[in-house]
């Protein structure tokens, strides 16, 4: 057997975000004797050491915010000119993928994949305008379009959305189901009593995740039930702002900032309800994980309904009515929900072994 085909994935860094988690889930489950992943990044990431153990190479160039537009484009051009041995470049930078794929195209790389993971650009008006400009190069320089949801495809690919492949944000279902009977043990490790109401959230501390709303919900609930804890898993630029908000409302004893974790599958089983009030999303992998763990989920109605695995356990709520969220947390805590079984997740296309296999076949097919 010959050497595996090497796919170059382009990301800002390989931290534990949704897109990066998907890539790693795929990477762990593909046949690496046939397909290998390499990475072009701009910053050190949480997954870097695992990538290298799995046989991947990591290249780094400076990000645009560090060196400016001209030097960033020069870095991309220079990289692809000197690494045009790659047949396939798979970019995960949403609209910023336009610049990446244009440079790859100039270097003669035959297969250029744009992957949409969101439904809106982040940043101030200037950042959004810059990303809009970058995005104009996507359709003219890509050969294949991928999105995590129909909504994400429509946002990034516009009139060509129907030509895109929907690649589901799949998870290892068994990993999130095996600890279902260990709730008290996991809580004990977190110093949480068995009967405490535990609200959970997984997500980076950034504007779209809407942590301010989570703290508002907690404040309402604590006024009625002091025996309540909010678990916040993740890190990000707004973490210190949220910590200040917690102190201002005197909620320090009711919030646990757990940081970036590699045991989310266990921590989910310490929760009574998973709350996800995002302002916008692509298709959040953490919601698939929470449903795989059998948690009741309260979700912003701004999130695509495509994330629903089990209509019995997920409820979509408006962000302009905090009372509904508070009432639903009370209501759902005392109900028993049917677990989202492995077959259901497989049939919906969110089981990782199946998705990894079809993704591997896609890479091998387009490379022939």
Length of the chain: 368
pLDDT band per the 50, 70, 90 thresholds, residue 7? very high
Q: Reduced to 3 states, what is the DSSP secondary structure of residue 344?
A: helix
pLDDT at 179: 64
d(CA 304, CA 280): 9
Bridge-partner residues for 276, per DSSP? 299
On whether the CB atoms of residues 148 and 283 are closer than 8 A, the answer is yes
Domain ranges of the chain: 5-169+351-367, 173-347
pLDDT tier at 323, thresholds 50, 70, 90: very high
pLDDT at 153 over 90: yes
Quick one: residue 141, left, alpha or beta (phi over 0 = left, psi -120 to 50 = alpha)? alpha
Query: Stretch 122-145: mean pLDDT, rounded?
Result: 95
Mean residue pLDDT across the chain: 92
Q: Provide the 10 A C-beta neighbour count for residue 196.
A: 16
Q: What is the pLDDT of residue 348?
A: 77
Which pLDDT does position 147 carry in this prediction? 96
pTM above 0.85, yes or no: yes
Which CATH number fits the domain 5-169+351-367, given the four candidates 3.40.50.300, 3.40.50.720, 3.40.50.2000, 3.40.630.10?
A: 3.40.50.2000
Positive/negative CA dihedral, 80, 44, 131, 73: negative
Looking at the predicted structure, is the pLDDT value of residue 349 above 80? no
The whole-angstrom separation of Cα 255 and Cα 248 is 13
SS3 71: helix
Q: How far apart are CA 59 and CA 42, in angstroms?
A: 8
Q: Select the more confidently predicted residue: 75 or 180.
A: 75
pLDDT given at position 178: 61
CA angle 279, 280, 284 (to 5 degrees): 115
Query: For a pLDDT cut of 90, what percent of the chain falls above it?
Result: 79
SS3 (DSSP) at 37: strand
Is 346 strand, coil or helix?
helix
- The answer to whether residue 143 scores a pLDDT higher than 60 is yes
Centre a 10 Å sphere on the Cβ of residue 192 and count the other Cβ atoms it contains.
20
Residue 126 has pLDDT above 80, yes or no: yes
What is the topology classification, in CATH, of domain 173-347? Rossmann fold (3.40.50)
The pLDDT tens digits for 214-260 are: 999 999 999 999 999 999 999 999 999 999 999 999 999 999 999 99
Instruction: Answer yes or no: is pLDDT of 172 > 90.
Output: no
Strands (E) in 111-260, as ranges, are 111-116, 144-147, 165-166, 197-202, 228-233, 255-259
pLDDT of residue 81: 97
SS3 366: helix
**For residue 181, pLDDT beyond 80:** no
Query: Pick from 260, 277, 301, 303: which is nearest to 215 by CA?
Result: 277
Say whether pLDDT at 2 is over 80.
no
Residue 310: per-residue pLDDT: 64
- Mean local confidence (pLDDT), 310-315: 76
**Do residues 297 and 314 make contact, with C-beta atoms less than 8 angstroms apart?**
yes
DSSP 249-310: TT-GGGEEEEES-S-HHHHGGG-SEEEE--SS-S--HHHHHHHHTT--EEEETTS-GGG-S-
Q: Give mean pLDDT, residues 25-46.
A: 96
Q: What is the pLDDT of residue 174?
A: 79
Evaluate whether 291 touches 314 at the Cβ level (below 8 Å). yes
Task: Categorize the per-residue pLDDT at 307 as very low, low, confident or very high, splitting at 50, 70 and 90.
Answer: confident
Inform me whether the pLDDT recorded for 43 exceeds 90: yes
Answer yes or no: is pLDDT of 367 > 80.
Answer: yes
Better-predicted residue by pLDDT, 311 or 5: 5
Q: pLDDT tier at 37 (50, 70, 90 boundaries)?
A: very high
DSSP notation for 42-54: SS--TTHHHHHHT
Range 74-101 burial, b when 16+ CB lie within 10 A, else e:
ebbbebbeebeebbbbbbbbbbbbbbbb
Name, in order, each residue with C-beta under 8 angstroms of 223's C-beta and a sequence gap of 6 or more: none
| Eight-class DSSP state of 4 | P
């Amino acid at each position: 057997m010959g050497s595996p085909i090497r796919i170059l994935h382009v990301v800002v860094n390989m931290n534990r975000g949704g897109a990066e988690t998907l890539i790693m889930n795929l990477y762990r489950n593909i046949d690496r004797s046939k397909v290998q992943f390499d990475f072009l990044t701009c910053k050190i990431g949480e997954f870097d050491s695992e990538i290298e153990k799995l046989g991947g190479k990591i290249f780094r160039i400076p990000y645009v915010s560090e060196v400016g537009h001209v030097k960033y484009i020069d870095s991309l051009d220079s990289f692809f000119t000197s690494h045009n041995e790659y047949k396939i470049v798979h970019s995960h930078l949403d609209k910023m993928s336009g610049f990446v794929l244009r440079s790859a195209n100039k270097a003669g790389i035959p297969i250029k994949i744009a992957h949409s993971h969101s439904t809106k650009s982040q940043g101030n008006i200037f950042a959004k305008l810059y990303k809009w400009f970058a995005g104009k190069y996507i359709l003219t320089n890509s050969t294949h379009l991928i999105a995590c949801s129909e909504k994400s495809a429509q946002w990034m690919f516009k009139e060509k959305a129907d030509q895109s492949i929907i690649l589901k944000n799949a998870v290892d279902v068994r990993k999130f189901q095996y600890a279902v009977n260990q709730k008290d043990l996991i809580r004990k490790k977190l110093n949480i009593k068995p009967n405490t109401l535990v609200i959970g959230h997984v997500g980076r501390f950034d504007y779209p995740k809407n942590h301010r709303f989570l703290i508002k919900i907690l404040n309402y609930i604590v006024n009625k039930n002091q025996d309540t804890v909010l678990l916040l898993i993740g890190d990000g630029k707004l973490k210190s702002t949220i910590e200040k908000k917690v102190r201002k409302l005197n909620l320090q004893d009711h919030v646990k900032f757990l940081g970036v974790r590699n045991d989310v599958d266990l921590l989910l089983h310490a929760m009574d309800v998973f709350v996800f009030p995002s302002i916008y999303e692509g298709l959040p992998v953490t919601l698939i994980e929470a449903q795989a763990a059998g948690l009741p989920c309260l979700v912003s109605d701004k999130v695509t309904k495509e994330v629903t695995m089990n209509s019995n356990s997920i409820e979509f709520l408006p962000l302009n009515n905090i009372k509904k969220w508070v009432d639903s947390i009370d209501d759902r805590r005392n109900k028993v929900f049917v677990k989202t079984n492995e077959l259901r997740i497989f049939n919906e296309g969110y089981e990782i072994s199946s998705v990894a296999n079809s993704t591997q076949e896609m890479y091998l097919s387009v490379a022939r």
